[in-house]
Structure 1
């Protein structure tokens, strides 16, 4: 078996493992329309999102985690700035791809699929991560209240919980027909934007994260459902992006990454422009086709590579950065290819009920 990063196939093949909360293909459910083909543009964006996420955890969001880079270092500045588009991009594409296979009127089946796809990996991989983090010397954090495990989100696994809540909200909105027309959709999006800015619930089961993700998810869905992407729309988005970026840079204290209108405007316009840019990269698309596995598993490899190489005397920040990103992307891909060959492991660890046979690329 070989793994070729330079080779991408737009149509599904045995090597491809659809492993992403951005895809959420429920293989056991019948499709009412033709099977959705892979899009190299969308997979390219998934690849970008994965690289940004891995980079974030390698660098660390504060000087006390990750590579422990001092405050004000350009890597810390860039890492913080990318937060305006990093998770919004994941959520936006989730909504966009959901638009290909929206809720079809079977609430129990819909919820069952999301429980399997999102909550099952949360319980298995998320709990394993918490345990390893607790017993491994050199890790940056540990669970404080084990009796609240996953009620209080663990690390980056908050996204799975938050996205599950978003899907429940979308299920209700679809059932009520609130997203069927442009006017109704606009009204719902405005409410979600107001929640983003003003609502700050306790973060049990990632409720705060769900409020954060919802307007971006709905934005992606709107792009697909109403085919938003004209030249005028792109021009308006570019103007909003420039204006919001100017405000964020000029008034950083009132334009935090979450809970402010400039942050929302910057995120929604930025990811919209990325989506409609038509950017195609076979390498990034290949990475993006494993995005769920990368999201779930990358932290095991980024932390392990940092601890391992530092033990052997490698301390250069940029060498550790490149090694961390390489292991954080490559490790989960190899893991997904192995896990995908065993139906039980694939179900319990990656939320997929399909047995995938890896073939030479």
Structure 2
């Protein structure tokens, strides 16, 4: 396989980052069930499209996170504590601020799908809540990664793959029952994070023609079986196994393509802001369309997608120059002199900013 330059790999990942955020937002606009989002019925083409991408969205999101972490691993910091402090800044400050804001808006705004009692607000900092579970889970992942890096687990491809297989088996066969701080999601996140880390650190060894061919075959078989099981209540172990097979091979294939798209690259720079605030745009669009008696599903989905992406981008641009808001809403560095705003030319973006995690 031809060696891909560092810059080209960055642009490839930036493109996939833009794609990943669109897929994630689209999934939330449609809703995970007939009770969420636009309350799409279970036997519709929209529900089928949601299910078809279900095992690709979050694995891709997490693989990109691991891939970009490998540009600036914990060993690049002066101490492990400084690395963890940076992740607390980046993940937990927005978790507290944005999740609280979302909870209050969900309670007071008319037309929302669910109104939690105010007395339960403390639970959002302890258990999974909405899409913010990802911030909790990734904080746990970085704590584990720090330990594994200290043990030099990822210094060789063999040890890295062995570690990933062990974590994947735990994810597939031993579903975690610890729900505090989304710890039950950590095996899933850690599996795909290690895959992304390994793809970056051992790029030339993994992405060879034979391996890509095998990944393509596994992907076709796995996703065909997944679609065959549409509307079938498969067991957790089967679902987790399919998630691993479909998600891992899809990520390998997408990264191996080396595809670049300037619009997705530009959008990818706002991915963290979109991830944090997209629900507010989607809910606003849904409430407005309901008031206008617009019930056409394609229009609802398209409008929700546009609003869910546009609102966070505008918010990021408006708040970027305000130090307090940029730290509280987006986890920007407290000590930095100027809040970094997304740039149109990702070649000038430091590796540590390619992905928010």
TM-score by length of 1: 0.85
1:75 is aligned, of 30, 46, 50, to 46
Q: Which has the higher helix share?
A: 2
Structure-2 change in CA distance of 1:321 and 1:258 (3 Å): farther
Offset of residue 186 of structure 1: 1.8
**SS of aligned partner of 1:130:** helix
Structure-2 change in CA distance of 1:257 and 1:267 (3 Å): farther
- What are structure 2's unaligned runs of at least 5 residues? 1-5, 345-357
**SS of aligned partner of 1:202:** coil
CA distance, structure 2, for counterparts of residue 114 and residue 44 of structure 1:
24
- What are structure 1's unaligned runs of at least 5 residues? 1-34
Offset of residue 211 of structure 1: 1.6
The residue number in structure 2 matching 1:139 is 112
Offset of residue 208 of structure 1: 1.4
**SS of aligned partner of 1:207:** helix
Structure-to-structure mapping, 1:122-271, within 5 angstroms: 122-143=95-116, 145-197=120-172, 198-227=174-203, 228-251=206-229, 253-254=233-234, 260-271=240-251
Is the contact made by 2:127 and 2:182 (CA closer than 8 Å) also made in structure 1? yes
Is the contact made by 1:248 and 1:263 (CA closer than 8 Å) also made in structure 2? no
The residue number in structure 1 matching 2:354 is none
CA distance, structure 2, for counterparts of residue 257 and residue 40 of structure 1:
35
Are residues 1:275 and 2:255 paired? yes
Count how many residue pairs are aligned between Structure 1 and Structure 2.
327
Is the contact made by 1:254 and 1:260 (CA closer than 8 Å) also made in structure 2? no
Structure-2 change in CA distance of 1:259 and 1:163 (3 Å): farther
CA distance, structure 2, for counterparts of residue 305 and residue 330 of structure 1:
11
Structure-to-structure mapping, 1:84-99, within 5 angstroms: 84-99=55-70
Structure-2 change in CA distance of 1:88 and 1:255 (3 Å): farther
Structure-to-structure mapping, 1:33-44, within 5 angstroms: 39-44=10-15
Deviations 1:297-337 (A, max 9, x none): 10000001110122122221111111111111111111111
Is the contact made by 2:66 and 2:192 (CA closer than 8 Å) also made in structure 1? yes
TM-score by length of 2: 0.86
Structure-2 change in CA distance of 1:334 and 1:257 (3 Å): farther
Structure-2 change in CA distance of 1:249 and 1:68 (3 Å): closer
Is the contact made by 2:55 and 2:242 (CA closer than 8 Å) also made in structure 1? no
Deviates more, 1:327-336 or 1:349-358: 349-358
The residue number in structure 1 matching 2:328 is 348
